[in-house]
Structure 1
Amino acid sequence: MKILYFAWLRERLNRSEEDIDLPADVVTVSDLIAHLSARDEAFAMAFEKPNRIRAAIDTRIVSHDTPLAGGTTVALFPPMTGG
């Protein structure tokens, strides 16, 4: 699955995207964030407040309990302000 990182997530993780093979127990956006958080200290710090992270699967904004099945790309980004 392709994972895209935006805004300060991209900066903290020093990458804008990556392709990863997900374990079978990663089935929702919430599971994905938890899985990424466990990778290393940088990921743990970037995702220390997972409820603040927004997600989109194949360009559709989704909640954290949304299944990943059928998706090809997940975008993760912090809340944004407009103006």
Structure 2
Amino acid sequence: MPAPPPSAYNRGGSPSCFDRVKMGFTMGFCVGLASGALFGGFSALRYGIRGRELIQTVGKTMIQGGGTFGTFMAIGTGIRC
């Protein structure tokens, strides 16, 4: 994969603080999605939820987990800038 053009970053190669916060949110969102799928899936199956309701419940848990964890990762990354 080729390197991004120098115009994408300021100061000749280092990402800006906003770019770092976006990356932190993205990584946190992905981790939150995965954990939401695991915890939401097992929890819904334990309660006996099946079919369409299972998909909706797991999907909602994934989005909530992703948003929450992504927000905290973005805040933590912003503090480090």
Q: TM-score, normalised by structure 1?
A: 0.23
For CA contacts below 8 A with separation 6 or more, give which structure has more relative contact order.
Answer: 2
Give the structure with the higher percent helix.
2
Give the structure with the higher percent strand.
1
Higher-Rg structure is 2
